[in-house]
Structure 1
Amino acid sequence: MQHSEKKVRQGTSRMRALRKVNIRTPRFLLLRQICKYEVPLFSSSGPTPSPSPIPEGYLESSAILPSHIKHAIIQRIRPQKPEDVISTYVRTIYPWFPIISVPRLRSRLPPTWDEAPIEFTLLCLSVFLLSTIPPSSLDDDESPSEFKSLYLCTKSWISLIEGLGVNSSEIVQAKTLVTLFEVAHGFYPAAYVSIGATIRAADALEIHPGEDTSSPNSSCDEAKQEEDASIWCGILILDRYITIESGPHPSLSRSRTLPLHKSPKPHLCPTHAENQDRTTPIYRMSRLFEASSLLDRVHTVLHNPTAEHAFNMEEVMLVVGTLNTLQTILIGETEGGKQVYSGGLGICNTGILLALENGMKVLPIDSESSNCNSLAVTYMNTHLSTVFNTIEPFVLGVQTIDFDLLPPFITYLVYNAAAIVTQRLWMETDSEEGLRRLKILREFLKMVGTRWLGCERYLKLLNEDTTPRILKAIEQV
């Protein structure tokens, strides 16, 4: 008994001594034991065990070399051949976003993947990614689909190649197509981040069309100048389009448009020149560029107004008038029944819709504001009818959508039109016709959502702003 009491007293004394040590001695000096891990962080004998399988094409830390990255990309693209990817681009992207010159692309065509440079393989991968049809059901983060996995791998390889210091026109084109993929499928804020990196990559190459027109070699490579112009056109179009969905902040490239306008018109905007072939890629890109320029002006007027209210209203009306003129020209250049495939027309109509929506919110405090509000309401009804009549034949089955020719730029227009019709139904104005139109607009988004997943994002946003009463009424129409 005495022996046990003695042990207790000894233990108590030790605890008191330790408390004194802990009070007087810094804690880190007491941590003398070496840390041991059951599994090493890095092992040269083999890959670290993982709870989930490593996807094909995954690069280990020992494989961060251009040749290894290229091999991983090729494994993703196969069994497609280089000429197959080019054919896919010509069929599914070139008709509405001709950022890559087909003759120049074919001139770089290697016989096999093994002989292709890493820049070419990455560009082909971006084409392959953008032309891939998404799955019918959305995946989750725990089990991503092959579609999502392909996208994530492409982003990873772009980052690795960028980190290795590789940059070229093909790399910038690949970045632009991946950004377009993110826009089309509603991958935000990824698209917002990517466009900034793409602009910087283009800046790093100093791709400014027409700057060296005095050099003796400039006249010998007109195709290269046109390709550089197309690259910048594509970047600016996406930047302005992304800005519309990203709040009041100005587009990243807004301050860069002045040097571009100083470029030779035959390369950047040949639409004003006489005897122009409207089927050329630079002409189609120029029309997209013109529409996006006016869209950016609408964004500037709405979100960065001056202190003069009357001047702001006059500026809005001037921009809308210019947009209406361009709309008339684009309709005249588009075959009947194919207006839905005109990306420039879609962007142009988006600018008109946003400007008219803002005009409807102007408080009629004086004669000028009352006139602005009245005109906006009148033209909005006409404009909504134009959008509705463009898509109705496809929803009713009168016409079939050719998804290879359909640009994703029309989706935001249809979403905004549906949102405005929904707001009107809240006030129970024009209910029967409004419900019919809203159903058609929503059905179009569902149809196009099988190709561009951004439509599903828009439908979710519409559902958040649609009351159960309206949803039930839509089903009964």
Structure 2
Amino acid sequence: MSTSNESPSPRPRAVANHSTLGVLALRWSCATCRQSKRRCDKIYPKCTLCVQKNTPCNYPGRRKREKLKNRIKAILPKHDVRQLSFPSATSSFIAESFLDPEVFSKARLKVVNADVEVTDDITELVGSVLDIQATSAKFFKSVHMWMPIISKPHFCANLLNRLTYKRAELFLLVLSMKLSYTRVKTWNTPLYETVKLFQFKIEASGVLSTLVLQASILISLYELGHGIYPAAYLSVGSCARYATALGIEKSILSSSAAQGQWIEEEECRRMWWAILVLDRYLNLSNPKRHLITTDAGLESYLPVDDEVWESGVLNPDRIYTLATANSYHLGLFARFAQAAHLLSQVLHHVSEESNETAQLRRTIFALVNVSNIEASMRRLEYCSQSAVCYAGILALDYSSFSKGMCISDSGQKLSSESAIISQATLDMALTLIHGDSDQLCDVASPFLVHLLYKVASMHLRIAHKSQTRGDREKVEILRKSMKLVGSRWLCTSTYLSLLEKQEILLVME
């Protein structure tokens, strides 16, 4: 307690607190005393002379000191994490979520995608709502036939909403759709350059979105189909990383079968299977190269039937895993996923130089037979999964074929498996030549080109040994069909160039 005999406490001196202000902890005279050149007793907030003369008393650095105090107060740690006041989501938030996801989760933070600026040239390329609908309609009638990773009903139903809240991501997807189905004479088009730059801009902004991943897969298909390497190989790897960042690789491990969210779940599942297919397809040319993605297990869920996918109405009884897939109603994309699973085994056998391939061959041919039945039932001319499966068997045959072991003593016959593949591929080639090639090429996938090349390469060797007219004619049929597909996929010119080089090498042997 204070008494009347106690003197009043002196006013505080103008000395900054060392623990908070560091180098600003100095003694100073007020501005008025310094200007009058008189001795200041430095009493804070007003010195004695200024009080006596009733003049303003200002100390130098006072505003800076107050600002610094407020900044320090704002960043001082508090004991309760739940009471932390965090800034709005920025690119630093995304970095934090990657560098220490545990702390990021405990702090109850959430990354919100940034609004990416859409330039006038992008807007002009995309066009109006009617233009977007026209672009998507062409896409769903072409590339979507063999790579159905986008839900048509979902895309149409959410178009206006995405124009408002996900404009940049939607525009990238629309331009990628256009890129994937457009026929070009050279791969390095202004559209391709614009899409790649826009993709980089969105990814650099820290946006993580399924729309961006769908667009990236379509860009990878464009690069693969037009022989743009190493871009195609690197883009597929980038898709795998991006999908993992979104957690999409987990989509094949569970199925909620909930009507309200199954389309989004199914889109994620289809995207991951598409990445698995592309990763394995790219390694068919070099089976000993490491895969970017891990193999799917038998408990992995397959895509739903394509008819269900197109309708947007789920039948919970039609959901299968790799282990339970014994139905004729799986759908072509589910068969494609099965083909990816078998391709994994093919690549392992080839890289390990295993000779125990009989069972694997039978399994692949069984899948091809079922796929062909479904394709004929649904009147689809070309099954991408059949082409990939055939290419897988040829990869198993390649080591022995390169040594001439697939050719009989007469030099005119292939092994039984290769003979079946050869005839099926020749039938495809003749259908292309005698049918409406423009219409057929619109729905033909680039996977078909690889198969045509591999079979042509086999018959080129046979023709060189047999010197018969029939074998030469087969090579020319395959070449002609490849040139027709070349109007759609520019990678064909590279394959034809390789055939010419093989022919020169055979002559030189």
Structure 1 length as normaliser, TM-score? 0.70
Residue equivalent to 1:317: 358
In structure 2, do the counterparts of structure 1 residues 348 and 287 end up closer, same or farther at CA, with 3 Å as the change threshold? same
Correspondence list, 1:354-369, <5 A? 354-360=395-401
Residue equivalent to 1:434: 471
Correspondence list, 1:121-132, <5 A? 121-132=171-182
Cα-to-partner distance string for 1:4-41 (whole Å, 9 max, x where unaligned): xxxxxxxxxxxxxxxxxxxxxxxxxxxxxxxxxxxxxx
Residue equivalent to 1:242: 282
Residue equivalent to 1:353: 394
Q: State the distance in 2 between where 1:247 and 1:190 align.
A: 19
Maintained 8 Å contact 1:82/1:112: no
In the alignment, structure 1 residue 296 sits paired with structure 2 residue 344: yes
Maintained 8 Å contact 1:176/1:195: yes
Structure number with bigger Rg: 2
Which of 106, 119, 138 lines up with 1:88 in the alignment? 138
Maintained 8 Å contact 1:395/1:443: yes
Residue equivalent to 2:264: 224
Q: CA deviation at 1:77?
A: 2.5
Correspondence list, 1:404-419, <5 A? 404-419=442-457
Q: Higher mean Cα deviation, 386-395 or 353-362?
A: 353-362
Maintained 8 Å contact 1:122/1:174: yes
In structure 2, do the counterparts of structure 1 residues 405 and 292 end up closer, same or farther at CA, with 3 Å as the change threshold? same
Q: CA deviation at 1:238?
A: 1.0
Cα-to-partner distance string for 1:415-442 (whole Å, 9 max, x where unaligned): 0111111122332x15211110000000
Maintained 8 Å contact 2:273/2:337: yes
Residue equivalent to 2:125: 76
Which of 181, 188, 198 lines up with 1:157 in the alignment? 198
2:476 maps to amino acid:
K
Aligned to 2:147, what secondary structure does the other structure show? Answer: coil
Maintained 8 Å contact 2:213/2:243: yes
In structure 2, do the counterparts of structure 1 residues 407 and 272 end up closer, same or farther at CA, with 3 Å as the change threshold? farther
2:198 maps to amino acid:
W
Q: CA deviation at 1:210?
A: 5.5
Maintained 8 Å contact 2:328/2:374: no
In the alignment, structure 1 residue 449 sits paired with structure 2 residue 497: no
Cα-to-partner distance string for 1:250-280 (whole Å, 9 max, x where unaligned): 3211x2523x8444785564895577756xx
In structure 2, do the counterparts of structure 1 residues 323 and 187 end up closer, same or farther at CA, with 3 Å as the change threshold? same
Q: State the distance in 1 between where 2:450 and 2:343 align.
A: 13
Q: State the distance in 2 between where 1:438 and 1:149 align.
A: 36
Q: State the distance in 1 between where 2:347 and 2:413 align.
A: 20
Aligned to 1:81, what secondary structure does the other structure show? Answer: helix
Maintained 8 Å contact 2:302/2:337: no
2:127 maps to amino acid:
R
Q: State the distance in 1 between where 2:136 and 2:343 align.
A: 31
Moved runs in structure 1, 4+ residues, more than 6 A? none
In structure 2, do the counterparts of structure 1 residues 246 and 126 end up closer, same or farther at CA, with 3 Å as the change threshold? farther
Q: State the distance in 1 between where 2:403 and 2:472 align.
A: 26
Correspondence list, 1:17-32, <5 A? none
Cα-to-partner distance string for 1:284-304 (whole Å, 9 max, x where unaligned): 321111112212221211113
In structure 2, do the counterparts of structure 1 residues 111 and 292 end up closer, same or farther at CA, with 3 Å as the change threshold? closer
In structure 2, do the counterparts of structure 1 residues 125 and 269 end up closer, same or farther at CA, with 3 Å as the change threshold? farther
Q: State the distance in 1 between where 2:259 and 2:162 align.
A: 33
Correspondence list, 1:212-291, <5 A? 220-246=260-286, 248-253=288-293, 255-258=294-297, 261-263=299-301, 269=321, 272=324, 277=329, 283-291=331-339
In the alignment, structure 1 segments of 5+ residues that lack a partner are 1-64, 306-311, 365-369, 471-477
Residue equivalent to 2:209: 168
Aligned to 2:148, what secondary structure does the other structure show? Answer: coil
Residue equivalent to 2:28: none
In structure 2, do the counterparts of structure 1 residues 206 and 458 end up closer, same or farther at CA, with 3 Å as the change threshold? same
Maintained 8 Å contact 1:449/1:456: yes
Residue equivalent to 1:20: none
Maintained 8 Å contact 1:268/1:286: no
In the alignment, structure 1 residue 389 sits paired with structure 2 residue 431: no
Cα-to-partner distance string for 1:353-397 (whole Å, 9 max, x where unaligned): 222333445798xxxxx9xxx997343233212211222132245
Residue equivalent to 2:504: 467
Q: State the distance in 2 between where 1:212 and 1:378 align.
A: 40
Maintained 8 Å contact 2:335/2:367: no
Maintained 8 Å contact 2:301/2:320: yes
Cα-to-partner distance string for 1:101-150 (whole Å, 9 max, x where unaligned): 11111122128967752111111111011011112xx48xxxx5xxx221
Residue equivalent to 2:251: 209
In structure 2, do the counterparts of structure 1 residues 461 and 274 end up closer, same or farther at CA, with 3 Å as the change threshold? closer
In structure 2, do the counterparts of structure 1 residues 102 and 237 end up closer, same or farther at CA, with 3 Å as the change threshold? same
Q: CA deviation at 1:209?
A: 1.2
Q: State the distance in 2 between where 1:451 and 1:202 align.
A: 28
Q: State the distance in 2 between where 1:221 and 1:188 align.
A: 37
In structure 2, do the counterparts of structure 1 residues 112 and 123 end up closer, same or farther at CA, with 3 Å as the change threshold? closer
In the alignment, structure 2 segments of 5+ residues that lack a partner are 1-113, 304-317
Aligned to 1:68, what secondary structure does the other structure show? Answer: coil
In structure 2, do the counterparts of structure 1 residues 269 and 82 end up closer, same or farther at CA, with 3 Å as the change threshold? farther
Maintained 8 Å contact 2:300/2:321: no
1:110 maps to amino acid:
L
Q: Alignment identity in percent?
A: 24
Maintained 8 Å contact 1:408/1:452: yes
Cα-to-partner distance string for 1:194-238 (whole Å, 9 max, x where unaligned): 011100100001012155658xx9664122221111111111111
Residue equivalent to 1:331: 372
Residue equivalent to 1:191: 232
In structure 2, do the counterparts of structure 1 residues 345 and 211 end up closer, same or farther at CA, with 3 Å as the change threshold? closer
Residue equivalent to 1:37: none
In structure 2, do the counterparts of structure 1 residues 345 and 67 end up closer, same or farther at CA, with 3 Å as the change threshold? same
Give the number of aligned pairs.
375
Structure 2 length as normaliser, TM-score? 0.66
Maintained 8 Å contact 1:356/1:377: no
Aligned to 1:134, what secondary structure does the other structure show? Answer: coil
Q: State the distance in 1 between where 2:502 and 2:450 align.
A: 16
Q: State the distance in 2 between where 1:212 and 1:409 align.
A: 29
In structure 2, do the counterparts of structure 1 residues 400 and 133 end up closer, same or farther at CA, with 3 Å as the change threshold? closer
